[in-house]
Every structure is written in structure tokens, then in C-alpha cells.
Amino acid sequence: MPTCRHCYSVYPREQFIHGNGPRSQVCVRCGVEKGLVTEEEVASLYNNSTANARFSALARRWSPLMWLSVLWTAWIVFLNDVEPWGLYTLILLALFSLVVPLYMFFFSSKHMAVMARLTPEYERPKGH
Ligand SMILES: [Zn+2]
């Protein structure tokens, strides 16, 4: 994958603008920021609303794991030796730990659909 010569980021080929001279090896974001192309010309640009929507979809996808680790940490620190609630919450946490991977597995296709919907349409021109 090529590297942008302005921001030194590595992106797939469709994230680069086309052209020679100042437009060669420039990613779409740097192209828009430096005025080499307009936002309408580059179909593969992730604008702010798309980027925010993708970020929130990712957060929704991975938040159960974050909550699980927070709850396990809370149990280890606070509830470990409280009788009898330590045992009850341990059973609940074990159940959640078993259910969360299944939940994430069954909703992975929905997440992939959301991410596909939030990926800008782009058709690579011939020769690129
Ligand atoms: Zn760049």
C-alpha cells in the first residue's frame, strides 16, 4: 500500500487522488485540505459525519467487552470477599462472560452491514 507524501500515512490505493506532479502520491484527505481537489471530486473521502458514524458503530460493537472488563475489575477489587454478594455477582459475571461472545458473534453480520453502508462508494478507474 502506498504512502502519502504529505501526512506519511499508508492507505489502500483508492484513498489516493489521481494525477501527476503535485497530485501524485497524495491521499484524498490531504488533497482536499491542500486544495488540490474538491470534496465532490473524491468519492472515497470519509467526511466528518461518516467518520463519526463509523466511530460510534465501532464503539457500539466493542462496548460489551469494555463493560465486561470493567465489571470484572470491579468484582475483583470490591466484591471479591463480600458474603454472599460476591458469589452471586460472580455467577452473574460468569454468565455474562459466556453470553457476550455469543451476542457479539450473532451481531457481527449486522455490524459488517452497518460498516459497509458507512463505506463511501468508490469504483477504481481502469489503470489504477
Ligand atoms: Zn495524506
pLDDT tens digits along 21-76: 999 999 999 999 999 999 888 888 888 899 999 999 999 999 999 999 999 999 99
Share of the chain above pLDDT 70, in %: 97
Helix intervals (H) in 1-128: 28-33, 48-74, 85-106, 108-117
- From residue 118, alpha-carbon distances to 24, 33, 49, 92, 96 in Å are 27, 22, 10, 36, 30
pLDDT above 90 for 93: yes
The pLDDT-based confidence of 122 (bands split at 50, 70, 90) is confident
17 alpha carbon to ligand 1 midpoint, in Å?
10
16 alpha carbon to ligand 1 midpoint, in Å?
8
31 alpha carbon to ligand 1 midpoint, in Å?
7
- Closest to 28 (Cα-Cα) out of 39, 121, 124: 39
19 alpha carbon to ligand 1 midpoint, in Å?
15
- Report the predicted TM-score, pTM, of the whole model to 2 decimal places: 0.72
Give the DSSP letter of residue 40. Answer: T
Q: What is the mean pLDDT of residues 82-109?
A: 94
Spatial contact of 50 and 118, defined as CB atoms under 8 Å apart: yes
54 alpha carbon to ligand 1 midpoint, in Å?
20
